[in-house]
């Protein structure tokens, strides 16, 4: 089958992915696509095929076959020309099969439980209100960019606090992370090597300092201290795995939520009646959060996997060694699973969206993401109940696999 060519980085796709996703589903539940960096891959575009693929660890693997003399194969999607630093940082729990995945996930799960994410609601609420109050209106346009001024700062501050990073460290990481938004091809991928390398160096320095503190009997607080302790205890966590884990938590812990928050604000501004209904009763928020996760679908693709054995899968003839990727955005818009999926319905029940994935790689930070979105929306619309979208105020980045607003310019109006 000749791979289909679809521009998932186009502005038209970001503005409204539904026509493209509907067209792909007409081709079948699993289609052949050509993607930048990855080349020809299979892509699941139905809810059933996506769910089955993400759960089937016998047929699909996160790793290429191991080369002679190596214990593990390269991460799927990793190319020979990619720098060693990228290979090291990519070797995290999301790119491992069992039993390595279980070993790594258990360590960070235990640390998360000790820090009790769900007890953070009051502090996240306070931070969200503070950030809303600090939004600076541009004098000339009388508008404000919610992406840089709010949607990026909230999750970055929260995850850095969880990790135990200082305010200067948080600002330094935020500066580098902001440069990773527009990775859509080889050129932009190579351009991202500089901030990624700087972030790795910063993490190495922070981990080394934490080792010294613990050796002196003055352990720090937060996830980094917990994970350093696990490494020191010989809990089968290598130094490279430690750095890769922290990098994953830092980047994944803020990037996806940034685009979830900004995309949800834009969606509510585009659906004023549903926004009014939502804020008539704050008790409706949890239900609305699930629909916004489905409707916005900021994380559009899963990590690629390799087909272990040839065979039929949801109507596609897969060959051993083929690459396959799940289109979460398509699964979340599948009319076979959702009634009138193109319509925003904040009362939708049930809502079995796959935005957090499913199976063993189900998103670790799902509770935190839901909590941050909830408190972010409440803080913003309490501060600016009459907020309006500025003309041409929504600008998307050309980020592959991520529906990411680069700018969300709004006219705020303080509550009287």
Q: How many CB atoms lie within 10 A of CB 359?
A: 14
Q: Find out whether 99 and 72 touch, Cβ atoms under 8 Å.
A: no
Look at residue 415 in the predicted model and tell me its pLDDT.
Answer: 45
pLDDT at 226: 87
Rg over CA atoms, the chain: 21
3-class SS string, the chain = CCCEECCCCCHHHHHCCHHHHHHHHHCCCEEEEEECCCEEEEEECCHHHHHHHHHCCCCEECECCCCCCCCCCCECCCCCCCCHHHHHHHCCHHHCCCCHHHHHHHHHHHHHHHHCHHHHHHHHHHHHHHHHHCCCCECCCCEEEHHHHHHCHHHHHHHHHHHCCCHHHHHHHHHHHHHHCCCCCHHHHHHCHHHHHHHHHHHHHHHHHHHHHHHCCCCCCCHHHHHHHHHHCCCCCCHHHHHHHHHHHHHHHHHHHHHHHHHHHHHHHHCHHHHHHHHCCHHHHHHHHHHHHHHHCCECECCCEEECCCEEECCEEECCCCEEEEEHHHHCCCCCCCCCCCCCCCCCCCCCCCCCCCHHHCCCCHHHHHHHHHHHHHHHHHHCCCCEEEEEEEEECCCCCECCEEEEEEECCCCC
At 99 the three-state DSSP class reads coil
H or E segment to which residue 44 belongs: strand 39-44
Q: Are 409 and 141 in contact (CB under 8 A)?
A: yes
Angle (CA) 17-20-22 rounded to 5° is 100
Q: What is the pLDDT of residue 186?
A: 60
pTM of structure: 0.92
- Using 70 as the pLDDT threshold, list the residues of the chain that sit under it: 1, 66-71, 73, 77-85, 87, 114-115, 181-190, 231-236, 414-416
350 upstream amide cis, omega within 30 of 0: yes
pLDDT (tens digit per residue) in 253-303: 899 999 999 999 999 999 999 999 999 999 999 999 999 999 999 999 999
Residue 274 structure tokens: 């549903």
Give the per-residue pLDDT at 399: 83
pLDDT of residue 368: 92
């Amino acid at each position: 089958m000749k791979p289909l060519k679809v521009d998932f980085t186009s502005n038209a796709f970001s503005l409204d992915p539904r026509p493209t996703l509907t067209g792909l589903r007409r081709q079948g539940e699993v289609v052949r696509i050509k993607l930048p960096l990855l080349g020809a891959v299979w892509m699941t575009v139905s809810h059933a095929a996506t769910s089955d693929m993400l759960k089937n660890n016998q047929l699909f693997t996160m790793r290429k076959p191991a080369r002679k003399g190596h214990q593990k194969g390269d991460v799927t999607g990793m190319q020979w020309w990619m720098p060693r630093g990228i290979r090291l940082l990519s070797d995290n729990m999301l790119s491992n099969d069992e039993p390595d995945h279980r070993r790594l996930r258990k360590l960070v799960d235990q640390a998360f439980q000790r820090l009790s994410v769900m007890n953070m609601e009051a502090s996240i609420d306070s931070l969200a209100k503070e950030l809303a109050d600090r939004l600076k209106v541009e004098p000339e346009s009388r508008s404000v960019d919610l992406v840089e001024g709010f949607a990026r700062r909230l999750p970055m501050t929260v995850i850095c606090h969880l990790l135990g990073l200082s305010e200067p460290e948080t600002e330094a990481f935020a500066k580098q992370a902001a440069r990773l938004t527009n990775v859509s091809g080889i050129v932009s991928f190579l351009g991202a090597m500089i901030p990624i390398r700087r972030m790795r160096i910063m993490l190495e320095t922070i981990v080394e300092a934490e080792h010294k503190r613990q050796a002196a009997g003055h352990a720090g607080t937060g996830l980094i201290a917990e994970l350093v302790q696990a490494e020191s205890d010989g809990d089968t966590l290598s130094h490279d795995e430690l750095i890769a884990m922290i990098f994953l938590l830092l980047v994944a812990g803020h990037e996806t939520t940034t685009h979830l928050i900004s995309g949800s604000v834009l969606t509510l501004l585009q659906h004023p009646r549903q926004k009014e209904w939502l804020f008539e009763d704050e008790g409706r928020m949890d239900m609305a959060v699930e629909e916004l996760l489905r409707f916005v679908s900021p994380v559009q693709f899963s990590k690629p996997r390799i087909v272990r054995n040839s065979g039929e899968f949801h109507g596609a003839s897969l060959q051993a060694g083929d690459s396959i990727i799940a289109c979460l955005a398509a699964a979340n818009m599948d009319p076979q699973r959702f009634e009138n999926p193109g319509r925003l319905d904040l009362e939708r029940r049930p809502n079995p969206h796959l935005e957090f994935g499913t199976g063993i790689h189900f998103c670790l930070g799902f509770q935190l993401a839901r909590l941050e979105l909830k408190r972010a929306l409440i803080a913003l619309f309490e501060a600016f109940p009459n907020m309006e979208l500025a003309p041409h105020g929504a600008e998307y980045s050309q980020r592959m696999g991520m529906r990411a607003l680069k700018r969300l310019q709004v006219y705020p109006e303080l509550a009287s």
